Structure 1
Amino acid sequence: MKGILEEANAIGPQITAWRRDLHQIPELGLETPETSAYILQELKKMGAEDIKEKIGGWGVAALVKGTLPGKILAIRADCDGLPIVEETGLPFASKNGRMHACGHDAHTAMALGAAKLLIAHKNELAGTVKFIFQPGEENVKGAKAMIDDGVMENPAPDALLGLHTGCLWKEAGPGEIGVRYGALMAAVDRFQITFRGKGGHGATPHLAVDPVTMASAAVMELQTIISRELSPLDPAVLTIGRIAGGTTFNVIAEECVIEGTVRTLSPETRDFMEKRIRALASRTAEGMRGEAVV
């Protein structure tokens, strides 16, 4: 094991270089042609086998086949960025108006590093390791697109590993890996609620039905699902990230839209959250003479 760790440290500068190259070319959603081309180029250089491209769009997969018999392990790395303008001023900063602000450039670089290290030791490797490079993590479409296109077949993995950089947790420091029994990474769901009322003048609210008031009430009420309806032993997170309604200061809008995300750690809680969000949004709107479309 000491030898492997020393080799991993030795290719650290290469992993850093990969990450910085990728950091300069962030792409969004399922449209990652430049990123995929870079991954393909590096996989071919290091001698990966059975390289497949354009899986579910621009996804990439490759194999490292050990010479000894064994099971099939998959290692998955996401590779898309975010629609954020980078202002770090770093010499390798993105200049295309998008940014790897969530660490997917690092995930991809780490997976390339693991592939390079395993290729160097495939004569000692029992089984096969399948590397999966997935676009579309941020829009929650990439995994399904690649699965529908057969990435989990030929060969089918016995197990799959994924990770996220430590920017989400402070408990694990540099050089440390955090693990736990049970679910660790939450399911990510996005929701949008459109509140509809009746527009009018700000001076005569009694003649209108105000969707901004409905949305404002719902933003607060939705949090009671977390604080008063879920067991503290089965937690979830609900965040409203966007609220938009109206066009000027003295006119009551006809619509107001809120968008948010729900994170859950079990299928049962996920289903419960969807049911309660729909019910609470509708009842809040109805109580204020409006309607809600979830």
Structure 2
Amino acid sequence: MESVRFKNRTWDVAADLRFPEGFDKTEKYPAIICAHPISSCKEQTAGNIYAQRLTELGYVTLTFDASHQGESGGEPRYLEDPATRVEDFRCAVDYLVSLDHIDADRIGVLGVCGGGGYATNATMTDHRIKALATVVGANYGRLVREGGLAALEAIGQQRTAEARGTEPVLTTYCPNSPEELEQAGITDIDVVEAVDYYRTPRAQSPGSPNKLRLSGLEAAFGFDAYHLADKLLTQPLQIIVGSVPGAFGSYRDGFELFDKARSEHKDIFVVEGASHYDLYDQPDAVDQAFTKLEPFFKENL
């Protein structure tokens, strides 16, 4: 594995480039960009589970930290900006096609959770991406809108305060600990398992500090990851979801994308008994996902 950097506008995006066993730099390889979930980083599921498995199958893989997050540059920090997240993918493709050992006609994308929504949006307009797979892909705009439009008033007030010199407010994606979760009385499976994944030794990472800039949330309310998929998404598509639904909505988002996508070659696979976070790192669920992912990428890249 090699730590690399590529540009998005004026800042560096930090990424891990993995090479298959027996890599020969004189040959051309297919490549897969692996995109991390919202609030995540390249060291978690997108990198250490999905990219690693795909590399073992013979692909060069690229996993990056979203701009404004993790080890990547971009100011302000802890910003979740859909347009910039989508542009990260285009810049990742720009980087890959500049490498002599990458076959520019065999580049795919795999996105996990919110990374799947962003990957879908990027694939619609960047047809250098030849195949798209989503694992519990979620539409971030839909998710924040379901939180209620009243939040826009608070966000607007915070932006006004910051414009007048107040320090930015950083909120969290999920409770900061199992103890906070219990105190909040939240029992939804997605939130409970988010805390278990991100805020315990199971997967806790410095690149995923559970910090979100509140005043940057306005853009997400107007973002629809799947808008125009019925017109622009033509590449082969493999969707993986778990059968156990939760508040993050990846199960229904998966079926919405399947129904909307213009792709002639598309498939949705439900991993029975698996929750959203089971498909992040639990061996049986991930193994079942790869029963579809392996032949999908082999056929289309």
TM-score normalised to structure 1 length: 0.31
Structure having the larger proportion of residues in strand? 1
| Rg larger in structure | 1
Structure having the larger proportion of residues in helix? 2
